[in-house]
Amino acid sequence: MLDDGTAHLPAGLAGLSNIAEFPPVAPSVPERQVEERRKYRTIWISDVHLGTKGCNAELLIDFLDHTDSETMYLVGDIIDGWRLKKKFYWPPEHNDIVWRVLKRARRGTRVVYIPGNHDEMVRPFSGMNFGGIEIARAAFHDTADGRRLMVLHGDEFDTIMLAHRWLAFVGDALYHVMMKLNGWVASVRKVLDLPYWSISKAAKHKVKNAVEFISKYEEVVARAAGERGVDGVVCGHIHTAEARVFEHEGRPVEYWNDGDWVEGCNALVEHFDGRMEILHWAEEVARRESIATADEAAREAA
């Protein structure tokens, strides 16, 4: 019999080898530090989408190997349960990310996992603790300089905006024009015996990524934070890292979006003095590599 690594398991459990190996004893991508770990007070990451090909596991593993923090917030859509349900996809690198996060928690980092809409199946576990990872629906974070920030994934506001239909992101007039056009298109298509197709529905899909939508989203989220009396909000969800300051009843309200690990590969960090910064990890790696190349060139020239 060939030993496929499951021979040590009792009969009947061989098929469970994947479960037995989770979390793996050692990651498939070994920990690697090209530079010293950067220490932060707080790190926020979100929209990792583990379980999809879109997840940039390589850069995230590099980020996790080069940073450390007292607290780490996983701000939702860490695991993409929606996609996994349709098609199971879980390369070893995705285990490596889970392994690294669990290791951080074991080393003493406070890890708070706030599930998003793609990992909503974790939401019922809010208030529980798994392997040192606190699950919460939302959190409040106090910065080193005494600002209070509300931390949540942010899909909650998507619903509010969709409930406002178009008015949330396009003008009232444009909405009415669109609805008229929609009726006209529908009747023409009916005459031509074509199935119903909604122009507004199709356009809405495209507009979802539009600048107006993002801007309005940021405003809606910041307003909610202002109404709650906090100094700011940290969220994810729309895959657009951003730092903005809004005003609510004469008070500034900070809006922070920690971006994603599909396109932007961003993290939001808090330094020990309370100063916040958005990191673009692809740029950090490029900078590190250009320094290494320059060093090498200098050594060769010497």
Is 237 near Mn ion (CB under 5 A)?
Answer: yes
Distance CA 224, CA 226 (A): 5
Burial pattern 191-214, b for ≥16 Cβ within 10 A else e, equals eeeeeeeeebeebbeeeeeeeebb
Indicate the burial class of 77 (C-beta count within 10 angstroms; 0-12, 13-18, 19 or more).
buried
Distance CA 251, CA 244 (A): 14
Whether the CB-CB separation of 232 and 254 falls below 8 Å is answered with yes
**Given the rule CB under 5 A, which of 22-30, 119-127, 230-238, 257-265 is the region that contacts Mn ion?**
230-238
The minimum distance between CB 89 and Mn ion, in angstroms, equals: 18
For Mn ion, give the closer residue by CB, 143 or 257: 257
The minimum distance between CB 200 and Mn ion, in angstroms, equals: 23
**Given the rule CB under 5 A, which of 6-14, 15-23, 77-85, 162-170 is the region that contacts Mn ion?**
77-85
Beta-ladder partners of 254: 232, 245
Three-state secondary structure call for residue 142: strand
Q: Contact with Mn ion (CB under 5 A): which of 27, 81, 115, 116?
A: 116
Nearest to 76 by CA among 156, 6, 196: 156
Is 260 near Mn ion (CB under 5 A)?
Answer: no
Is 239 near Mn ion (CB under 5 A)?
Answer: no
For Mn ion, give the closer residue by CB, 29 or 151: 151
Q: Contact with Mn ion (CB under 5 A): which of 77, 134, 242, 270?
A: 77
Is 117 near Mn ion (CB under 5 A)?
Answer: yes
**Given the rule CB under 5 A, which of 19-27, 76-84, 166-174, 280-288 is the region that contacts Mn ion?**
76-84
State the residues that interact with Mn ion by CB under 5 A: 77, 116-117, 155, 237
